[in-house]
Amino acid sequence: MFVSRQRTHGLLAAMSFAALAAAAFAGEPAATLDRLSLMSAYLFVLMIGFVLLVGPLRAVRTGRAMLNHTLRRDVAIWCGIIGLVHLVAGTAESMTPGYMDVFVVHAVSAPPAAVRETFFLWSTVIGFIVGILVVMLLALSNNRSLAWLGQIRWKRLHRLSYFVFGLTILHGVGFQVLESRGRAGYAALLGMTGIVCIAQVLGLLAVRRRSGH
């Protein structure tokens, strides 16, 4: 089991660093932070989506709720790491006079500056809330915390992942509006939201059918 998890972490690390390195060196050095911010953002959404799909898909197959799963936990750990990379890169990119000038105060496209300032404020606040929750969940993603809290309480705390996912989508949509990224970004965020929501409903129904409710 230990060796298997080591390999899983090694594979996740290699994939994560390869994607971030590809983004970092894909273009002009001046836009490195922007590319890192985008790549880490989409990786985070993809990985947290996977984490939230593992349980429901197993419930659909077996009719049983899943309390703990090592692959899900390992992916969640790297999801959290990627999320923190995005927090650092995104903050460094957006908290600058140049960004505020181009995308908030003097943006040429709709919505107007007053609305953009509101979007920027709340999207940024939401991003930091997500960062705090990610740090907390990372701190609990170990066997010692699982043994100390017990599976039930540990699972309840990790249900904050759903809250993190929802806030992440709101944060992403806010910055999509500010940066006018186009329809593909909205489609990716809303598509993942739809997939996760449908899977959760199907998993819940499968568990209820098996239990006779």
Distance CA 86, CA 36 (A): 7
pLDDT for 212: 66
**pLDDT averaged over 10-residue windows placed end to end, the chain, 213 residues:** 78 94 89 92 95 90 78 92 96 92 89 92 96 94 84 85 95 92 86 94 87 66
CA–chain centroid gap for 48, Å, is: 5
Is pTM beyond 0.85 here?
yes
Distance CA 187, CA 93 (A): 23
Residue (of 109, 20, 100, 62) closest to 207 by Cα position: 62
How many Cβ atoms are within 10 Å of 135's Cβ, its own excluded? 13
The token pair at 14 is 């290699």
Q: Where are the domains of the chain?
A: 2-211
pLDDT for 36: 95
Encode the chain in three state secondary structure: CHHHHHHHHHHHHHHHHHHHHHHHCCCCHHHHHHHHHHHHHHHHHHHHHHHHHHHHHHHHHHCCCCCCCHHHHHHHHHHHHHHHHHHHHHHHHHCCHHHHHHHHHCCCCCCCHHHHHHHHHHHHHHHHHHHHHHHHHHHHCCHHHHHHHCHHHHHHHHCHHHHHHHHHHHHHHHHHHHHCCCHHHHHHHHHHHHHHHHHHHHHHHHHHHHHCC
> What amino acid is encoded at 139 in this protein?
A
